[in-house]
Structure 1
Amino acid sequence: MSEQQLIRGTMILSMGIFITKILGLIYVFPFTALVGQQGLALYTYGYTPYTVLLSVATLGVPLAVSKFVSKYNALGDYHTGQRLLKSGLIFMSISGFIAFLLLFSLAEPIANRVLDADDLSGNTISDAVFVIRMVSAALIVVPVMAIIRGYFQGHNSMGPTAVSQVIEQVIRIAFILLLTWIILYQFEGSLGTAVGFATFGAFVGAIGGLVVLLYYYKKRMPSLQEQVKESAVDHKLPLSTMYKELIRYALPLSFVGLAIPLYQMVDLFTFNHAMITRAGFEAVEAERYFGAFQQASHKLIMIPVSIATAMSLTILPTVTKAHTMNDTDRLQRTVTQTYQIIVFLTVPAAIGLMLVATPAYAALFGFDGLQIGAEVLRAYAPAAILFSVFAVTASLLQGINKQYYAILALVAGLAFKLLTNSLFIGWFGPEGAILATTIGYAVAVFVNAYAIGKFTNYNYKQIGKRFVVVAAFTLLMGAVVAFLTYGLTETLTLDTRMNAFIVLLLAVGAGGIVYMNLAIRSGLAGIVLGERFAVLKKR
């Protein structure tokens, strides 16, 4: 894969993931209007453990299969990749069903740990149990999708993953909003019942995504079979050998994929308790902060992180092939290109989001809890940079078979989060949890970057220079955004969503124009984005 193919694949997946994230953000507005902050918190109680079990059930399969297929394709052996797909569908079906049974049976213990019997928020333990059990059904289907997506990515085909993700999200959101409205306003059902069926939308959406992937596979089957016939070699690996290799790739990736969910699990079990007992907040207020932190603000900062998610999926086959073929030059170029794109796109996005926190939260989530939401978003936004860098550096380590360093990085960062979360909340209030997450990720990123430098002999001097330039441009952009946000807020009082949206649009638009103008005039945009965007290079 050339640098331009790398960028093209990243753009395809970025677009798919970006659309998915935007849809995942937009639906929160009507859903919150239907169920309120109480229902949103209940929804989170179900989705957080589901996300963890999903990562365990898939075992890092998409990236592991992508690496496996890419490696044997590079060796001219298309037989092995196809055998892995066929046997893997059975294996993932079994693992998904086991994960479903596990989460279903653990629903009550989890609910009892998260909620007290006398919880003042209005959510009951039985509501939480129902929500967790309803969302667990999706675990039967999603692992099967994971292996098909990984197979296509191993062939450097990113379209099926992108399209299936978007379709899955559209169906899920439509189901959530429609069922919630019907249960609450047509049948006058309880909030717990409505939220429970809303989480069942994960299963319905997964069925839609699986149908899309099967369509792509059927459509491309003739060309895939032709590749198998023209294979130069067939290693004829026994299934036991094949799965030993796959598991060797997958286990580290499963832990890395658990990074954000594990951090959220720490907050799930410690945030409310620490806010009440250490920071002196009331239970209802603590839960409002938790909802703003884990749902609203988190969804916003994951939008720039979607670029890194796409990049981590795209670069793995490229890095694996370069490492397999001992192509040091291509490996070095890929590492450079990856770092450049992540820094160039995520740094201004994260800092810009921090500066427009108040109008962004007001425009997107309304004025209920605006002070809390803006406060959390402002503190949380810079963490998007570290989330992004961790994702791509972990993928780079996987490509060069040093994935265990990514595990070491995750454990180090998570240990810091676990040891300091309650302590920091007691010292700094809700921002303490954000600080523990940010420093934990910084530790993990440092470990990953060190390992990449050590095992690829990579010199960070060039990336350091790029970062300084990006930081300078971001600083100038930030000055414009901050000035406009303050001035417009004084002129247009933030008392309606329309005013907030106007402030947000003008500030973000001006910031984007300033940043891209500086990047284009300096030639940085053309250097980072490559020959396909040669028009951006300095003349």
Structure 2
Amino acid sequence: MNEETKSGIIQNSTQKNDNHNQENNSKSEMLKGSAWMTAGSIFSRILGAIYIIPWAIWFGNNYLQANALFTKGYNVYAIFLMISTAGIPSAVGKQVAHYNSLNEYGVGRQLFKKSLVVMFGFGLMSAIILWGISPLISQGDTRLIPVYRSLALTLLLIPVMSLTRGFFQGYLDMEPFAISQFVEQLARIIFMLASAYFILNVQHGSYKTAVVYSTFAAFIGAVAGLLVLVYYFFKRRSKLNSLLASSNNELEVKDGKLIKEIIYQSIPFILITSTTTIYNLLDQYTFPDVMSLFTNLSMAKINELYALFAGNANKLIMISISIAASMADTAIPLLSKAITKGNKKDVATAIIDALELFFFIMLPASLGMAAVAKPLYILFYPYDYTGIYVLAFSAYIALFIGLFMVLGALLQGIYQNKVAIKYAFYGVVVKFIIQMPLIIMLGVYGPLASTAIGLTVSNILCFRFLYYKYDLQVNELQKNVNLMMIYSMIMFVIVLILSFGLSHFMNVHSKFQALIILAITAGLGGYVYAYLTLKSRLIDDVLGESKSDGLRRILRVK
């Protein structure tokens, strides 16, 4: 073998190793980011679900009135929040990652500073508008005016906080994002519960005052979350400044163009994230009318059924859906980075990795929640036979919603915003067409079924586009997903049998005993799934061998 041939072999081998290392680094970045985002989001959602238990007890007979005020306030606030912040973290993260991959850290920093001023101004404007129109939108209920105004103050901080989270996201640093999200929720709930207890049980004050302080808790949470981000910014300052000093500084972008980029990139995120809201609005405005026309049920009963799937079940499945949203946030900057470098193979790898991680987590999460629907529902709400089955059915629907979030985010990450919006719209149209007949045939399960079908249409179209655009090699993905489904079904059957058996020996109507059943069944289910994926080494393809070996040692799986 001559020297030239040897040199060629060595060069090819080195190139393969470099490519392999890049793929591992990309997957490692995504796993680390997803771990932080998932943990922060899940704990925040769990806190957001469990606070209702003591809060409802302390309000006593006034709970329904208090909850009505609280919900009405947050419904209006959510509209302003969506307009002022939806899409900003992901849009900023996407653009900062784009410029960072070009080694133009200066442009990313410039983008952050200029956007910070704009977003504060936008938040101030939103707060003033909500404060001013509070009497006009209160529908004659003066109790709502202080509720709206307490939430208006929060709009001063939320846009700035969202923008700062997006800045860290652009550096693929998800820890500040996740920690601030958790601290924000924790501070909000602590203040909310403490103020409610003090006003109602110590001062014996009005429930209306307690509600105002409960909604003002959103401002306290925003302050806490923003302080966490400021802390991380100073903690990371030396590293950020070092990257800034090494910037090429060859690219000059005018401030106006940077602001336009953020607005342009944020609009698709707003539209995509609002898709599920549109689905919910379709349910809200069609379910009562269709049921009243085609059934003999009273409007009170129809509203109760609506609350079962749109309120009670939705709040719990959002815990698992938040996992998908967290993974979507992590995938966007990685894809933007690969697109900027023009590496089609890296983009395809990132897409496959994101989908594989999604199914690895969401399949057992959805089936597991369905299996423990009974003790889970009773833990949070009064016993309701229909409500339990609605929750179980909703747990399956969470899989479709989560997949849409990930696929939509992947399309946005590769700058296919119009495609993502178009396919989301097709799904909404399908749901609208089949909504009435499915409600007539399936009753309370009709809206959930139409949601699943509408999102399936969007998901198929999104995946089909990605498949042909990047020539995705799905054989390995399909094999792994099949195994995940088999292991998830095994876990589902074991947990369902155990839950059914325990319910015959324990009082499932007791919240404490429901908690015990939930802890036993969920713990066993998690171990079964982990054991099967570790034993078969399926988990190695998802998390990597080093992390998998560590889990094997902990769980003593050979």
**Could you state the TM-score of these two structures normalised by the residue count of structure 2?**
0.87
Alpha-carbon distance, 1:445 to partner: 1.7
Determine helix, strand or coil for the equivalent of 1:204: helix
The answer as to whether partners of 1:135 and 1:199 remain within 8 angstroms in 2 is yes
Distance in 2 between residues matched to 1:178 and 1:341, nearest whole Å: 39
Amino acid of the structure 2 residue aligned with 1:249: Q
Instruction: Pick closer, same or farther for the CA change 1:234–1:149 going to 2, 3 Å.
Output: farther
Amino acid of the structure 2 residue aligned with 1:314: T
The answer as to whether partners of 2:58 and 2:201 remain within 8 angstroms in 1 is no
Describe how 1:80-479 pairs up with structure 2 within 5 A: 80-104=107-131, 125-127=141-143, 131-272=147-288, 274-276=290-292, 278-365=294-381, 368-421=382-435, 424-479=438-493
Distance in 2 between residues matched to 1:459 and 1:250, nearest whole Å: 30
Alpha-carbon distance, 1:437 to partner: 2.4
Instruction: Pick closer, same or farther for the CA change 1:226–1:519 going to 2, 3 Å.
Output: closer
The answer as to whether partners of 2:383 and 2:509 remain within 8 angstroms in 1 is no
Instruction: Pick closer, same or farther for the CA change 1:158–1:458 going to 2, 3 Å.
Output: same
Distance in 2 between residues matched to 1:274 and 1:109, nearest whole Å: 31
Alpha-carbon distance, 1:413 to partner: 2.4
Distance in 1 between residues matched to 2:427 and 2:132, nearest whole Å: 30
Amino acid of the structure 2 residue aligned with 1:25: A
What does the per-residue CA deviation read over 1:213-238, in whole Å, with 9 as the maximum and x for residues that have no partner? 12222232333223222212341201
Amino acid of the structure 2 residue aligned with 1:333: T
Amino acid of the structure 2 residue aligned with 1:408: K
Alpha-carbon distance, 1:168 to partner: 0.5
Amino acid of the structure 1 residue aligned with 2:118: F
1:492 paired residue among 490, 506, 513: 506
What does the per-residue CA deviation read over 1:308-355, in whole Å, with 9 as the maximum and x for residues that have no partner? 222111111111111111122222221111111110111111111112
Alpha-carbon distance, 1:279 to partner: 4.4
The answer as to whether partners of 1:169 and 1:205 remain within 8 angstroms in 2 is yes
Determine helix, strand or coil for the equivalent of 1:76: coil
Distance in 1 between residues matched to 2:378 and 2:174, nearest whole Å: 35
Distance in 1 between residues matched to 2:136 and 2:436, nearest whole Å: 22
Instruction: Kindly report the root-mean-square deviation, in angstroms, between the aligned alpha carbons of the 2 structures.
Output: 2.6
Determine helix, strand or coil for the equivalent of 1:401: coil
Q: Which residue of 1 aligns with 2:99?
A: 72
The answer as to whether partners of 2:114 and 2:259 remain within 8 angstroms in 1 is no
Describe how 1:27-38 pairs up with structure 2 within 5 A: 27-35=51-59, 36-38=63-65
Q: Which stretch of structure 1 is more off in the superposition, 471-480 or 509-518?
A: 509-518
Instruction: Pick closer, same or farther for the CA change 1:108–1:344 going to 2, 3 Å.
Output: farther
**Could you state the TM-score of these two structures normalised by the residue count of structure 1?**
0.90
Amino acid of the structure 2 residue aligned with 1:413: G
Q: Which stretch of structure 1 is more off in the superposition, 171-180 or 287-296?
A: 287-296
The answer as to whether partners of 2:41 and 2:322 remain within 8 angstroms in 1 is yes
Amino acid of the structure 1 residue aligned with 2:256: S
Alpha-carbon distance, 1:450 to partner: 2.0
Q: Which stretch of structure 1 is more off in the superposition, 450-459 or 385-394?
A: 450-459
What does the per-residue CA deviation read over 1:228-285, in whole Å, with 9 as the maximum and x for residues that have no partner? 2221234120112222322232111111122333333334445555555554444444
Distance in 2 between residues matched to 1:100 and 1:187, nearest whole Å: 30
What does the per-residue CA deviation read over 1:99-126, in whole Å, with 9 as the maximum and x for residues that have no partner? 33454566677665xxxxxxxxxxx954
Alpha-carbon distance, 1:160 to partner: 0.9
Alpha-carbon distance, 1:417 to partner: 3.8
Alpha-carbon distance, 1:144 to partner: 0.7
Q: Which residue of 2 aligns with 1:20?
A: 44
Distance in 2 between residues matched to 1:424 and 1:254, nearest whole Å: 29
Instruction: Pick closer, same or farther for the CA change 1:136–1:282 going to 2, 3 Å.
Output: farther
Distance in 1 between residues matched to 2:144 and 2:449, nearest whole Å: 28
Q: Which residue of 2 aligns with 1:6?
A: 30
Alpha-carbon distance, 1:206 to partner: 0.7
Distance in 1 between residues matched to 2:305 and 2:152, nearest whole Å: 26
Aligned residues: 526
Q: Which residue of 2 aligns with 1:117?
A: none
Alpha-carbon distance, 1:426 to partner: 4.4
Distance in 2 between residues matched to 1:521 and 1:450, nearest whole Å: 33
Alpha-carbon distance, 1:59 to partner: 4.4
Larger Rg: 2
Instruction: Pick closer, same or farther for the CA change 1:383–1:103 going to 2, 3 Å.
Output: farther
Describe how 1:29-68 pairs up with structure 2 within 5 A: 29-35=53-59, 36-68=63-95
Alpha-carbon distance, 1:12 to partner: 1.5
Distance in 1 between residues matched to 2:75 and 2:461, nearest whole Å: 26
Structure 1: gaps (5+ residues): 113-123
Alpha-carbon distance, 1:62 to partner: 0.5
Distance in 2 between residues matched to 1:447 and 1:43, nearest whole Å: 39
Alpha-carbon distance, 1:89 to partner: 0.9
Distance in 2 between residues matched to 1:102 and 1:427, nearest whole Å: 44
Percent sequence identity over matched residues?
30
Instruction: Pick closer, same or farther for the CA change 1:172–1:275 going to 2, 3 Å.
Output: farther
Instruction: Pick closer, same or farther for the CA change 1:529–1:369 going to 2, 3 Å.
Output: same
The answer as to whether partners of 1:21 and 1:306 remain within 8 angstroms in 2 is yes
Q: Which residue of 2 aligns with 1:507?
A: 521
Instruction: Pick closer, same or farther for the CA change 1:511–1:27 going to 2, 3 Å.
Output: same
Distance in 2 between residues matched to 1:514 and 1:182, nearest whole Å: 44
Distance in 1 between residues matched to 2:254 and 2:355, nearest whole Å: 38
Determine helix, strand or coil for the equivalent of 1:228: helix
1:521 paired residue among 527, 535, 545: 535
The answer as to whether partners of 1:363 and 1:497 remain within 8 angstroms in 2 is yes
Amino acid of the structure 2 residue aligned with 1:451: F
The answer as to whether partners of 1:51 and 1:261 remain within 8 angstroms in 2 is no
Alpha-carbon distance, 1:204 to partner: 1.7
Alpha-carbon distance, 1:162 to partner: 1.1
Q: Which stretch of structure 1 is more off in the superposition, 39-48 or 211-220?
A: 39-48
Distance in 1 between residues matched to 2:390 and 2:326, nearest whole Å: 26
The answer as to whether partners of 2:359 and 2:481 remain within 8 angstroms in 1 is yes
